[in-house]
Amino acid sequence: MQTIPLVDLSDTTGVSRAIETACRDIGFMYVAGHAVSPRTIADVRDSVVRYFSQAVDVKLRDRISRDNYRGYIPTGFFTANSGDAAADSYEGYKLHHEVSGDDPICDSCDLYGPNKWPAHPPYFKQHVLRYWQECDRVASSLLGAMAEILGTAKDDFLSAFESPLTNMTLLHYPPQSPDDTGFGIHPHKDTDALTILAPDPVGGLLVKCRDSDEWIAAAAPAETLTVNIGDLMELWSGGYFVSTPHKVVNSSGAERYSFPYFAVPRFDTVVKPLKSPQPGFSRPSVDVGEVSKEVWRTNWPDVISDKPHFDLGTLED
């Protein structure tokens, strides 16, 4: 049975090797020494809980739309990637890297733009953006280390995350009944470079072991962050790092809340292996803007992707 390793960012002598081992063996890690204050995390959690406690008709005022994938996601709106499974049991709120509507980058890629910020609760935007800035810092540290492990210049690699398509989904999972065979979120891989998650104390995140059909609970130690790499980082590494399937099953009997941060490069970044691919790893390069548009477009239940090599994150039956 595999385990998720602990990586301490304050251990300057051993952190690079620890990150490399985690990314190579399972693609997940618990990160300590990240310096994100417990108060910052608690403030976001409080805002998330208070937002989702509002009446549905209030939340629907900020509903996502096909032309603007920002705002409220109603319960059961999205299904698994194949479109033929039960809807996932969560409601969410989608946010993207904050960009003003008159920023020139909006003319270059229509995925950019301002977020919808709900009127209530007070300080929602302030709490989320403060936490977001901390995640940016942690992501930069981890991505810089990964660049060096892959033998590429740190500054050049991090420049791909200037004006990024980084996004965050605030999530509420109601308790699932004991006989519920569905999912809070179905088994999937992340389509990003790196995901950062402040663990919810009720648990429910399950990670697939690399060489078996077993799933292990991501039971993060106190005051750590759970971090995993996504398909873009796996591609950058030529398959040396692994993007690992995971799912959420909320069998705790309690409400579960989470707010994963997804680090995604700038729209004009082309991702391809930075080192010789591992034996058997063969995957075409990916244009981040194009694949991000396709992920956005195919989130709607009545849309099936006609670009299978863009279908990052999808698990084969």
Domain residues of the chain, as ranges? Answer: 6-310
* Residue 97 token pair: 């890297």
Quickly state the pLDDT bin for 237 (edges 50, 70, 90).
Answer: very high
Helix, strand, coil % in the chain, rounded to nearest 5: 30, 20, 55
- The reported pLDDT for the residue numbered 317 is 43
Are the beta carbons of 211 and 115 closer than 8 angstroms?
no
* Residue 64 token pair: 């996502």
* Per-residue CA distances from 301 to 59, 66, 282 (Å): 20, 11, 29
* Residue 80 reports pLDDT greater than 70: no
Average pLDDT over residues 209-237: 94
Q: Measured between alpha carbons, how far is 28 from 23 in angstroms, rounded to an integer?
A: 6
- The reported pLDDT for the residue numbered 163 is 97
- Helix axis angle for 124-149 and 38-52, nearest 10°, is 130
**In whole numbers, what is the pLDDT of the chain averaged over residues?**
91
The single-letter code of the amino acid at 52 is F
- The reported pLDDT for the residue numbered 199 is 86
Quickly state the pLDDT bin for 76 (edges 50, 70, 90).
Answer: confident
* Residue 110 reports pLDDT greater than 70: yes
* Residue 309 reports pLDDT greater than 70: no
Average pLDDT over residues 72-94: 78
- The reported pLDDT for the residue numbered 81 is 45
- Between 73-87, 114-128, 282-296, the lowest mean confidence (pLDDT) is in 73-87
Q: Measured between alpha carbons, how far is 266 from 159 in angstroms, rounded to an integer?
A: 9
Q: Residue 88, Cβ neighbours under 10 Å: how many?
A: 24
Max avg pLDDT among 11-15, 76-80, 262-266, 293-297: 262-266
The more confidently predicted of residues 90 and 82 is: 90
Q: Measured between alpha carbons, how far is 79 from 83 in angstroms, rounded to an integer?
A: 6
With b for 16 or more beta-carbon neighbours within 10 A and e for fewer, the 213-226 pattern comes to eebbebebeeebbb
pLDDT tens for each residue of 163-205 = 999 999 999 999 988 888 889 998 999 999 999 999 888 999 9
- Superfamily of domain 6-310 in CATH is B-lactam Antibiotic, Isopenicillin N Synthase; Chain (2.60.120.330)
